[in-house]
Amino acid sequence: MKTEYDLSKIKSRKNPYAAKLKKSVTMRLSEDVIGYFKQMAEEAGAPYQSLINLYLRDCVAYHRKIDITWQETP
């Protein structure tokens, strides 16, 4: 095995999986929401962040929309 390699002649190419990579974001979630997903994660044997991602991916796949209507107080 060489101690040094000459990489100057190697051609670069784009990562074919770059479009599928995850992006790190910061979100503020309620403790009960996190607890819910952590409990499900423990039962499923998967990281809770992955479960949250799967749930949101399902929302995207099926174009789920949230109905936010504010009730007027009497």
Q: What is the pLDDT confidence band of residue 28, given thresholds at 50, 70 and 90?
A: very high
Residue 56 lies in a domain: yes
> Exposure pattern of 20-54 as b/e (b: 16+ CB <10 Å)?
eeeeeeeeeeeeeeeeebeeebeeeeeebeebbee
Residue 39 lies in a domain: yes
Q: Rounded to 5 degrees, what angle do the CA atoms 8, 5, 3 make?
A: 155
Average pLDDT of span 49-65:
95
At 19, list the tokens: 């479009």
At 34, list the tokens: 């996190």
Domain count within the chain = 1
Asked whether the predicted pLDDT for residue 31 surpasses 80, the reply is: yes
Q: What range does the domain containing 42 cover?
A: 29-61
pTM of the model: 0.65
